[in-house]
Amino acid sequence: MKVLLLYPEFPDTFWSFKHALKFIRKKASLPPLGLLTVAAMLPEDWARRLVDVNVRKLRQNDLDWADVVFISGMIAQQASARELIARCRAAGKTIVAGGPLFTLGHEQFPEVDHFVLNEAEATLPEFLRDFQRHTARRVYASPLFPDIRQTPPPRWELADLPRYAAMSVQFSRGCPFDCEFCNITAMFGHRPRTKTTAQVIAELDGLRRAGWIGAVFFVDDNFIGNKRALKEELLPALIQWQHGGRGTPFFTEASINLADDEELMRLMVEAGFNQVFVGIETPEEAGLAECNKRQNQKRNLVADVKRIQRAGLEVQGGFIVGFDSDTPTIFARQIEFIQKSGIVTAMVGLLQAIPGTKLHQRLNLEGRLTGQTTGNNLDGTTNFIPRMNRETLREGYRSLMGRLYAPGPYYRRIRTFLREYQRPKISSSLNWRSFLAFLQANLRLGIFGRERFHYWGLLLWTFFRRPTLFPMAVTFSIYGHHFRKTCRVLGL
């Protein structure tokens, strides 16, 4: 059996980092970990080929080669997924689909032959058994949250690693919290399930063997969901592992209560973590209460962010506007918060209702849903009737994004951050790509860019005040270019 593993293209959005990746001659941020994991669960004698359309085109000979196509994706990739499915159909291939896009809405893909939904650990073995007996059903789903201590290491050799900016590994699935808009708990449950330390180390060793020396993203929904396992097992083992190698920078996602645990932050930094994405959502207590973001309530969120930054972890923040309790003052409040906290990469989205979330259920009951989500809450659209006037919300969002990423405030935010930040213990080693990126940045941002005065101002300031953070200043400048371009593409 020859299996073609297909990963659809991401649209040009904030998270694609498309315009920044060009500077370092990379094609995509991360490889499709779900498909690489599924590849490892297929029978040993099956041949496998991965085509991630974000890094290379799907060719006719890929389709001619394949007996069956396994396609994955998230909602944001649905347009490309539909195109790929149509091509596979036209080529007469059997199509098997799985991953978040299909788990949350398989009914919308009548052309697909088999859906293997939820976590493959729970559904794939039964499908494979039936498929080999030619008795496979159309849909395989499971309410179970499987033990991931049996999950095999991803088949890295199928991916063209040098084309990606970073690699990903997963330690845990699930999150103990219950935010109304989030579908993580519906998909992965409340009890964080963890892999064993030995599994994680084996995955990292596999990456090293495959020649990877760059950054690694721990794609956990909330890395600190099980603090005990981290402090007693995983982090000490990672510290040990780093000593045996050249130093791999890690980044991840965590909830704000990370700021309460000095020991945990210290261990994370020692283990090589230098960046963490935190869902802050809103500085307004009413908004936090409305979406049940308990862990963010009644705190000084700016002070929390600064504490994490001072520990040596850059904070990237997720923010939302469009809560029922939001009034038109929210736009200025968000900007003020983000500027003060020095969160350079601030992903502000309009609230969208994703199927499977409590928010979706509530808005459905209230008769306020207007259509399907685009799956990308940063594209300036909503799929429900907001309490605020729709035009006020859209305009407010547009102007918020414009002001946040305009060169003046953006470069000021970088300085606010660099003043606070501790130099990371482990960071990406500089190589010819970094050097080329620096030259390109000088040309595109420093000579032709509208931000040129801000750019040189920042570089000079960093050179004299925080010289060890100079590479970060260049990286942030390149990100700013990407964010501004994306705002233009999205008409923000």
Binding of ligand B12 by 376 (CB under 6 A): yes
H helical segments located in 347-489? 358-365, 390-405, 407-420, 432-444, 452-465, 470-489
For ligand SF4, which residue of 37, 151, 222, 309 counts as binding (CB under 6 A)? Answer: 222
The count of other CB atoms within 10 Å of the CB of residue 145 is: 18
Q: Which two tokens stand for residue 224?
A: 């600190």
Q: Which of 30, 42, 69, 184 binds ligand SF4 (CB under 6 A)?
A: 184
Question: Which strand (E) or helix (H) includes residue 423?
Answer: none
Q: Find the binder of ligand SF4 among 279, 355, 356, 386 (CB under 6 A).
A: 279
Task: Tell which one of 317, 349, 386, 449 touches ligand B12 (CB under 6 A).
Answer: 349
Number of residues that bind ligand B12 (CB under 6 A): 46
Task: Name which of residues 116 to 175 contact ligand SF4 (CB under 6 A).
Answer: 175
> Comparing C-alpha atoms, which of 382, 375, 350, 473 is closest to residue 423?
473
Contact of residue 38 among ligand SF4, ligand B12, none (CB under 5-8 Å per partner type): ligand B12
Q: Cα separation of 280 and 303, whole Å?
A: 13
Closest distance of CB 35 from ligand B12, Å: 6
> Does the footprint of ligand B12 cover residue 490 (CB under 6 A)?
no
Q: CA-to-CA distance for 421 and 284, rounded, in angstroms? A: 26
357, 467, 363, 483: which is closest to 411 by C-alpha? 483
Write out the two tokens for 24.
């370092």
The listed partner (ligand SF4, ligand B12, none) that binds 121, CB under 5 to 8 Å by sort, is: ligand B12
Residue of the chain from 116, 179, 204, 305 that contacts ligand SF4 (CB under 6 A): 179
Beta strand 314-321 with 114-116 is unpaired
Interface pick for ligand SF4 out of 9, 62, 221, 379 (rule CB under 6 A): 221
Among 120, 159, 276, 478, binds ligand B12 (CB under 6 A): 120
* SS3 label, residue 374: coil
Q: What is the DSSP string of 243-260?
A: HTSS---EEEEE-GGGGG
Pairing of strands 139-140, 167-169: unpaired
Residue 39 or 184 having the CB closest to ligand SF4: 184
Q: 57-96 mask for ligand B12 (x: CB under 6 A)?
A: -------------x-x-xxx-------------------x
Q: Which of 4, 8, 10, 207 binds ligand B12 (CB under 6 A)?
A: 10
Nearest approach, Cβ of residue 192 and ligand SF4 (Å): 10
| Residue 441 neighbours by CB under 8 Å, 6+ apart | 23, 455, 474, 477, 478, 481
Chain residues in the site for ligand SF4 (CB under 6 A): 175, 177-179, 182, 184-185, 221-222, 255, 279
